[in-house]
Amino acid sequence: MRILVTGAAGMLGTSLVPVLRANDHSVLATDINTSDPNIERLDVRLIADVMRFAEKFRPEIIMHLAAETDLETCEQRRDYAYQENFIGTQNACVACRHLGIPITYISTAGVFDGMKTEPYTEFDEPNPINVYGASKFEGERVVRDTIPEHYIVRAGWMVGGGEKDKKFVSKIIAQLDRGAKTLHAVNDRFGTPTYAPAFSKVLEKLTRTRYYGTYHLACMGRWSGR
């Protein structure tokens, strides 16, 4: 397929794009923050930019990874979070609707409130408790409302991003690099560490099935920061 990938310079994108190309897809990799000459600059918050890329490349599917995932940034800059996670997603949906193609939207376990003691399933009702989760859930809503042929994929706690990892693992490593004698980590949250390359391989297979809908995609087991 011809695939337009947004957020290709991020942790998941750097794993997904090679997987897509290894499976003979023609990929246009885009991101707003990149110095990689193989990734073209696209600000998904700007509808004109999104439509220009869509018209030029004529993809058969858009895989929308672009998002603001940092919890603190989202809390401190609410409008920015919604521009990235909702408006950017809405713009991707407009392009998909214009071309008559499906969309793959990467969402998050953060759409839930964390009160359930067992793993969440696709049939549980979202109830986000922070700006990040709420803005990503609004992204889910606009996908469902505008593009019937969609894959909404809620990811587990992503690991395995190497230098692109800005999440828990990288924060622990950063503390060790600074010579910390005491490590600071949340210990009241449980999740499923999900290896980005493995996630990418399953995601590529999913988007070829045409079994549209909402999916939870994670590795086995669960873990906390304790």
As annotated, the active-site residues are: 132
What SS3 state is found at 95? helix
Handedness of CA 205, 211, 212, 213 (dihedral sign): negative
What SS3 state is found at 216? strand
Is 65 within 8 Å of 8 (Cβ atoms)? yes
Adjacent-strand bridge partners of 153: 106, 215
Distance from chain centroid for Cα 37: 22
Nearest CA among 84, 98, 95 for reference residue 49: 95
Angstrom CA distances, 178 to 80, 171, 174, stand at 30, 11, 6
